[in-house]
């Protein structure tokens, strides 16, 4: 599927796919009794947009040398990526049921040796942007014109290695590299503000820091969007393509809500990971199923 073909996926269809992806995350994690919820859900609209609206990839030929590269640097959100890869046709949706079980191709954190469509292993936070920079540098060196995308968490930005890569990307003029930051404002525990009032009330990892300004000062193009607005995401991707040739890497600062899409997981650090009870599963199915009728069983 070429880029121009990919952009034909309309907003309603993206919404349906994102709801299906969210359901697979909650359901798979509940069945496996392991995995993450909040981060995969906050990233879902961005992941779906990337795989159905932007990335030049071919699920039938996952190793195509000309494919765009995608690295999920926040590797704990693997189940979110697997759900989207399954929906995109890299492997059967039924295979999600093997997640985190012995002998599965779907490991707790992305494993490029096992899962079709995974371009880099990840799991120890902070390393993906360096790997992406290496891929983008190789592409320039070899005269190949694919684009490399790296998704990071905002908590993950605390790792120093990220900033080493931010410097390198500018130094090597990697306008074929884009970082997407999932700014959900929550990490696993973070900084509690008060003991009894922690819902919607943890201090944002980057509160007090002008992230837009920091990236601008490092010489990057910065695009700030609402990471749940499919039209805004589509526009941002268009602008990334326009920036090629500028010599500047681009960062998309995507404001999101941790646990987005399911009322009991939205906006709380407590669903960073968690196993839904049968009642919670039923309520998630009811909420998400309205968007993608019939699939949430």
Partner 1 sequence: MKAQRDVWGQTLVDLARTDSRVAVVDGDLATSTKADLFADAFPDRFFEIGIAEQNMVGVAFGLSTLGFRPWLSTFGVFLTHRALDPIRMLVSQTGAPVKIAASYSGLLNGSSGKTHQDIEDLAIMRAMPGMTVIAPADAIEAEAAIRWAADHDGPVYLRLARDAVSDIFSPGHAFTPGTVHVLREGNDALLVSTGVQSSRVMDAAALLAEEGIEARVVHVPCLKPVDEAALLSALSGPAPIFTIEEHSIIGGLGGLVSELVTSTTLGKTVTRLGLADAWSESAPNSYLLDKYGLSPARVAGQVRHALADD
Ligand X SMILES: Cc1ncc(C[n+]2csc(CCOP(=O)(O)OP(=O)(O)O)c2C)c(N)n1
Binding residues for partner 1 (CB under 8 A): 69, 111-113, 119-124, 126-139, 141-142, 144, 160-161, 164-165, 167-168, 171-172
Q: Which is nearer to partner 1, 136 or 281 (CB)?
A: 136
Partner from ligand X, partner 1, none contacting 154, C-beta within 5 to 8 A by type: ligand X
- Beta pairing class for 202-203 and 221-226: unpaired
Name the minimum Å distance from CB 118 to ligand X. 16
Q: How far is the CB of 134 from ligand X (least distance, A)?
A: 19
Say which entry of ligand X, partner 1, none residue 182 contacts (CB below 5 to 8 A, set by partner kind).
ligand X
The one-character DSSP state at 191 is E
Residue found under tokens 């201090």: 203
CB of 124 to partner 1, least distance (A): 5
The 3-class secondary structure across 204-257, one letter per residue, is CCCCCCCHHHHHHHCCCEEEEEECCCHHHHHHHHHHHHHHCCCCCCEEEEEECC
Query: How far is CA 82 from each of CA 17, 117, 201, 275, rounded to the nearest angstrom?
Result: 13, 9, 30, 18
Nearer to partner 1, 85 or 262 (CB): 85
Instruction: Select from ligand X, partner 1, none the partner in contact with residue 41, using the beta carbon and a kind-dependent cut-off of 5 to 8 Å.
Output: none
Strands (DSSP E) found in 104-184: 148-153, 177-183
Q: Are 106 and 95 in contact (CB under 8 A)?
A: yes
Cβ-based nearer residue to partner 1, 124 or 277: 124
Q: Residue 245 binds what, of ligand X, partner 1, none (CB under 5 to 8 Å, by partner type)? A: none
221 contacts which partner out of ligand X, partner 1, none, CB within 5 to 8 A by kind?
none
Q: Which is nearer to partner 1, 6 or 137 (CB)?
A: 137
- Pair type for strands 250-255 and 177-183: parallel
> Among candidates 270, 268, 265, 269, which has minimal Cα distance to 27?
265
Residues that bind ligand X (CB under 6 A): 38-39, 42, 74, 76, 123-126, 153-156, 182, 184, 186-188, 258, 272
Three-point CA angle 174, 234, 48, nearest 5°: 90
Q: Which does 186 bind (CB under 5 to 8 A by kind): partner 1, ligand X, none?
A: ligand X
Beta bridge partners of residue 179, listed in sequence order = 150, 251
Q: Which is nearer to partner 1, 137 or 254 (CB)?
A: 137
Buried b (16+ CB within 10 A) or exposed e, 136-173: bbebeeeeeebbbbbbbbbbbbebeebeebbebbbebb
Determine contact, residues 206/189, Cβ cutoff 8 Å: no
Q: Least distance in Å: CB of 286 to partner 1?
A: 39
The helix/strand/coil state of 273 is strand
Distance in Å, CB of 111 to partner 1, minimum: 8
User: Residue 217 binds which one of ligand X, partner 1, none, with CB within 5 to 8 A depending on kind?
Assistant: none
Supply the minimum distance, in Å, between the C-beta of residue 73 and ligand X.
Answer: 9
Instruction: Please give the biggest Cα pair distance in the chain.
Output: 56
In the complex with ligand X, the residue whose CB is nearer, 104 or 204, is 204
Q: How far is the CB of 200 from partner 1 (least distance, A)?
A: 33
Question: Rounded to the nearest whole angstrom, what is the least distance from the CB of residue 251 to ligand X in the complex?
Answer: 15
User: 117 vs 185, which CB is nearer to ligand X?
Assistant: 185
């Amino acid at each position: 599927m070429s880029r121009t073909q990919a952009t034909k996926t309309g907003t309603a269809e993206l919404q349906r796919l994102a709801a299906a992806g969210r359901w697979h995350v909650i359901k798979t994690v509940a069945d496996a009794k392991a995995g993450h919820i909040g981060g995969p859900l906050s990233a879902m609209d961005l992941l779906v947009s990337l795989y159905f609206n932007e990335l030049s990839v071919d699920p039938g030929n996952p190793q195509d040398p000309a494919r765009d590269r995608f690295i999920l640097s926040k590797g704990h959100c693997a189940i979110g990526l697997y759900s989207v890869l399954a929906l995109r046709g890299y492997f059967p949706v039924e295979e999600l049921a093997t997640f985190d079980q012995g002998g599965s191709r779907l490991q707790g954190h992305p494993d490029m040796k096992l899962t079709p469509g995974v371009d880099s292993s990840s799991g120890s936070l902070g390393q993906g942007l360096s790997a992406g920079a290496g891929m983008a540098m190789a592409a320039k060196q070899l005269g190949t014109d694919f684009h490399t995308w790296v998704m990071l968490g905002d908590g993950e930005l605390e790792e120093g290695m990220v900033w080493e890569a931010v410097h390198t990307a500018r130094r090597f003029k990697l306008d074929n590299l884009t970082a997407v930051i999932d700014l959900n404002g929550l990490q696993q525990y973070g900084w509690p503000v008060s003991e009894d009032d922690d819902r919607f009330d943890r201090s944002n990892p980057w509160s007090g820091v002008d992230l837009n300004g920091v990236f601008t000062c490092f010489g990057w193009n910065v695009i700030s969007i609402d990471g749940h607005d499919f039209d805004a995401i589509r526009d941002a991707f268009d602008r990334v393509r326009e920036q090629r040739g500028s010599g500047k890497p681009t960062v998309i600062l995507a404001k999101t809500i941790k646990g987005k899409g399911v009322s009991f997981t939205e906006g709380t650090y407590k669903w960073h990971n968690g196993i839904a009870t049968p009642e919670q599963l039923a309520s998630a199915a009811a909420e998400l199923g309205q968007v993608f009728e019939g699939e949430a069983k």
